[in-house]
Amino acid sequence: MTRFRWSRVAWLLALLLCAAGHAQAGVMTRDDLRKAFPPPLSVGEIDPQLPVWPIFKQDVTSPILAGYVFESIDFAPIPGFSGTPLNLLIALDPKGSFLDVRVLSHHEPVFLEGLGEAPLFRFADQYKGLSLQQNIKIGSNANRGEERGSANVYIDGVAKATASVRILNQSLLASALRVARAKLGFAGGQDPDQIARVRRDTYAPMEWGTLRQAGLVQHLTITQGMVEKAFEDSGVELPVAGHADDVFSDLYVAYLNAPSVGRNLLSEAGWQHLLGRIDEGDHALLVIASGPYSFVGDKFVRGAVPDRLTLKQGDLPLELRDLDLDDPLTLPASLRGADAKVFRVIGPAGLDPSHALNFALRVTREKGMVYPERISRSFAMPYVLPADQVMLPESDDKGWQGIWRSRAWELGVLAAALALLAVVLARPKWIVATPSRLARFRTGYLVFTLVFIGWFAQGQLSIVNITALVQALVAGRDLAFFLHDPMTVALWAFVAATLVVWGRGTFCGWLCPFGAMQELVAQLTRLAGIRRIKLHRDLDARLKWIKYGVLAVIVGLAAVSPSWTDSAVEVEPFKTAITLGFVRSWPFVAWAAGLLLLNVFLYKGFCRYLCPLGAGLGLLGRVRLLRWIPRRSECGTPCQTCRHRCEYQAIKPNGAIVYEECFQCLDCVAIHDSPQRCAPLIAKGRARTIAIRPLPVWAGSEA
């Protein structure tokens, strides 16, 4: 029997592993791609080394390469918010621009019967025409009026789906960069998110000579003799121009991002102007040339790319574009008439300031008279920024740090609120001193939970978090996708800690936005005089087992079928009521509204009997270390006050607390500490007030 059971388990695990492996493979065939890219485009054979398909367009005589098409899941299977990777169809042209971006599949809860898929498709469509060389940012389209060819572009996000669209963005860029590096030579294998950064604390006043001695300004002299030697085997006759030792071109290069360079070569106003002209991650490089030959050609225009000067880093070609700055430079007298330009290299290009920058000045000569042949020679000038000017990347994590920085103030507010709650729950005596004080604090905190944590910050924890974890573990995926939702991570960290200390009640009673909504609705209906139903304790106890069955079904489905899981998790009304604010199709709105109506008559019926997340927290809460609710020997025998007052029916007739069903409302704590409400304390108080006095002696009576 045991062998049979283990064989079934092994067979199931093998099936799950196969399914997980299949889930990370592309689904498109060549015939599918031909339909997606009809004539005049044609789809070639798949690359034997990478799952990439070339796309061609017909020229007059022969087809020419139009780009490459691939699926993101083959290169960056980053789990979405549900734990299952999005799969995108991406087409790149030979220069790294997006020809097309389409969503092939996803399991993002907010777009499944929530907002609908249309906002997701519109979001992906914004990438068409953008380039990997641009800094693509999600937010308000602040440069909507600018050309899409600018260095920085903003694409519109999707409200209430911030984590999902950021994961899509990361999947898109990570997979596209891998293909661009392999097929287009883009970034030479360097990850733009893992480059060194220039230190901002290195400023010290320095003059030109000191900057050169420190290696912050580097110099190359090209002589006439060096040029003649470079062309001596080319057949080009060079005009005789002086002696071999004469200067042909004097080049100076400086990295202006370093404060020790930029603040010394520019005025303070010029330094601030430069910082305002470049974006985070961009690089500003000063190039100065004196002598007969400059890096600025006769056809150069301001704001353009120089045709005589090139820059590479390893195998990575980098575009230099004139920033068109007119701010005066602090230069020695010998260079004040020289050509000086400040060039920008945009951040997404992948330049790493800790590695050598290989500048090259190209000199071109013509050979022949009728149809002259142009022959060029390049003169290399390496520039290495001193090591004390840069900070190396601290880790390999990427993609989510910016999200945490952008939501720092929200996390700060949440941290303060959680600290306050922890203090109150650890030392509740002051709050429970009077019923009105506890009621005011609890109502205020529940309003904060609903409005700020729920509707504003979108911090509703959900069974989806657990199913995402299960699916990621089954498929062997990284769990870093959770970091794209800082509020969820912060709340789970607090909930995990409080599960160990107090159990389930901290989240379910104080931090669940839908739970807060139910309780606030119940308070309003109580003021309206609507009476609630209280079930017999035996029926209540049996109904509370339902949520554990719901949890088992959902977790089981999560291990075998993402699509079924997407439907099963809809038992939770959280997405409808909190994430989408009831803006959803009518069946889901009816379900959420029905549960709120049930709550009017059967207090928090969903939380107590159906909530799979509550069931999961109840199970995890069994590791609780404290029996933190005070009890007396009279509790349950004979006193039943707390049990009758407990709205959650989490107290047994013998007075014991069922912590797995306790919502930590503090009502029983308030009763326990109240001389006016706790029956044992009332009895003791009465006993203390009965004084034994002698009988009065009347006048004339016997002594």
568-600 per-position pLDDT tens digit: 888 999 888 888 788 777 888 899 999 999 999
Residue whose entry in the numeric block shows the structure tokens 């009640």: 505
Q: What is the mean pLDDT of residues 607-620?
A: 92
**What distance in Å separates the CA atoms of residue 108 and residue 119, rounded to the nearest whole number?**
12
Q: Does residue 241 sit in helix, strand or coil?
A: coil
The pLDDT value given to residue 142: 43
Please write the tens of the pLDDT for every residue from 306-322: 888 888 887 677 778 88
- In the chain, DSSP finds a helix count (H) and a strand count (E) of 25, 18
Interval 592-603: pLDDT, tens: 999 999 999 999
Going 330 to 333 to 335 to 341, the CA torsion angle's sign is positive
CB 24 within 8 A of CB 73: yes
Top-ranked range on mean pLDDT: pick from 37-51, 97-111, 542-556: 542-556
Query: Model confidence at 546, in pLDDT bands (50, 70, 90)?
Result: very high
pLDDT of 672 higher than 70: yes
Tokens (6 digits) for 475:
């498929």
Task: Locate 619 and state its tokens.
Answer: 């199970």
440's CB contacts (< 8 A; 6+ apart) are: none
The residues near 28 (Cβ < 8 Å, ≥ 6 apart) are 36, 71, 89, 104
pLDDT value at 398 more than 80: no
Phi/psi at 91 (nearest 5 deg)? Answer: -120, 125
User: How confident is the model over 436-460, as a mean pLDDT?
Assistant: 92
Cα dihedral 81, 349, 215, 328 sign:
negative
Instruction: Flag whether pLDDT at 420 surpasses 90.
Output: yes
- The three-state secondary structure class of 317 is strand
Band of residue 218 on the pLDDT scale cut at 50, 70, 90: very high
Classified as helix, coil or strand, 407 is: coil
257: phi then psi, degrees, rounded to nearest 5: -60, -30
Q: Which residues pair with 317 in a beta bridge?
A: 312
Which whole number is the average pLDDT over 541-547? 93
Buried b (16+ CB within 10 A) or exposed e, 242-254: eeeeeebbbbbbb
| Distance between CA atoms of residues 539 and 535, nearest Å | 6
612 and 554 Cβ atoms separated by less than 8 Å: yes
Q: How far apart are CA 682 and CA 431, in angstroms?
A: 21
Q: What is the mean pLDDT of residues 462-469?
A: 86
DSSP three-state, residue 158: coil
For the chain, how big is the Rg over CA atoms in Å?
36
Determine the Cα–Cα distance for residues 499 and 621; give it in Å rounded to an integer. Answer: 5
Residues pairing with 41 in the sheet: 57
What integer pLDDT is reported at residue 210 of this predicted model?
92
* Whether pLDDT at 384 is above 60: yes
Q: Name which of 245, 97, 70 is nearest 175 in CA terms.
A: 70
Q: Confidence class of residue 396 from pLDDT cuts 50, 70 and 90?
A: very low
Distance between the two ends of the chain, CA-based, in angstroms? 95
Name the token pair of 212.
């050169």
Yes or no: say if 79 and 70 are a contact pair by the CB < 8 Å rule.
no
What is the average pLDDT score of the chain? Answer: 82
Contact 331, 340 (CB under 8 A): yes
Distance (Å) of CA 589 to CA 116, 157, 464: 14, 25, 19
Among 122, 120, 101, 104, residue whose Cα is nearest residue 162: 120
Tell me the mean pLDDT in the region 561-573.
83
Q: Which residue has the tokens 């069931």?
A: 615
Q: Using CA atoms, how far apart are residues 374 and 364, in angstroms rounded to an integer?
A: 7
- Mean predicted confidence (pLDDT) in 264-284: 88
Going by C-beta distance under 8 Å and a sequence separation of 6 or more, which residues neighbour residue 384?
Answer: 215, 218, 356, 357
Residue with structure tokens 């974890």?
A: 469
> Higher pLDDT residue, 195 or 677?
677
Pairing state between β 283-290 and 339-345? antiparallel
- Report how far apart, in Å, the C-alpha atoms of 151 and of each of 172, 221, 282, 461, 502 are: 18, 33, 9, 38, 52
**Residue 133: helix, strand or coil by DSSP?**
coil
Q: Give tens-digit pLDDT for 336-357.
A: 888 899 998 877 667 889 889 9
Q: With contact defined as beta carbons under 8 Å apart, do 306 and 295 qualify?
A: yes
The confidence score (pLDDT) of residue 484 equals 78
Tokens of residue 59, six digits: 């020229």
Instruction: Using a pLDDT cut of 70, give the percent of the chain over it.
Output: 85
Q: How confident is the model at residue 2 (pLDDT cuts 50, 70, 90)?
A: very low
Contacts of residue 699, Cβ cutoff 8 Å, sequence gap at least 6: none
Q: Is the pLDDT of residue 192 over 70?
A: no
Q: What are phi and psi of 691, to 5 degrees?
A: -95, 145
Give me the pLDDT at residue 687, please.
58
What's at 449, amino acid-wise? T
Least confident of 85-99, 169-183, 211-225, 435-449: 169-183
**Residue count (the chain):** 703
Alpha helices in 116-204 (DSSP H): 118-125, 162-179
pLDDT at 240: 56
Q: Answer whether 39's CB lies under 8 Å from 28's CB.
A: no
> How large is the average pLDDT for residues 12-32?
54
Q: How far is CA 647 from CA 85, 373, 599, 604, 665, in A?
A: 42, 92, 12, 9, 9
Of the candidates 480, 476, 622, which has an alpha carbon nearest to the alpha carbon of residue 559? 476
**Which residues have a Cβ under 8 Å from the Cβ of 372 and sit 6 or more positions away?**
366
* Cα 375 from Cα 368, distance rounded (Å): 11
* Per-residue confidence (pLDDT) for residue 609, from 0 to 100: 93
How large is the average pLDDT for residues 415-441? 91
Whose CA is closest to 135, among 123, 124, 151? 151
